[in-house]
Amino acid sequence: MQVDVKILGTDCARCRQLTALVEDVLAGPDMPDAALEKVSDLAVIMSYGILAVPGLVINGEVKSVGNVPSGGMIAEWIREAAKE
């Protein structure tokens, strides 16, 4: 099953940092197949109930808002989502 990963945010520094981190995690060994999408449309971002960016959404579930979680945490969330 392909994991759907969305990064919600404008082109702020933390948004770029999160994007680079997620790309690195997805390129790592033993990571499941994933589709990464960057969403900058504010209406779409707000539809997730997110008022602070960046946001990280995995398989439709908001995992983080307003911060950049660790690479280990992101990898764990993606692996868990692949099992669902």
Domain of residue 14, CATH code: 3.40.30.10
| Per-residue pLDDT at 84 | 83
| Per-residue pLDDT at 1 | 76
38 forms bridges with which residues in the sheet?
A: 7
Q: CB of 53 within 8 A of CB of 12?
A: yes
SS3 48: coil
**Per-residue pLDDT of the chain in tens (84 residues, 90 and over written 9):** 799 999 999 889 999 999 999 999 999 988 999 999 999 999 999 999 998 999 999 999 999 999 999 999 999 999 999 998
Measured between alpha carbons, how far is 1 from 80 in angstroms, rounded to an integer?
11
Domain that holds residue 13: 3-83
Number of domains in the chain: 1
- What are phi and psi for residue 55, nearest 5 degrees? -120, 145
| Per-residue pLDDT at 10 | 87
pTM over 0.85: yes
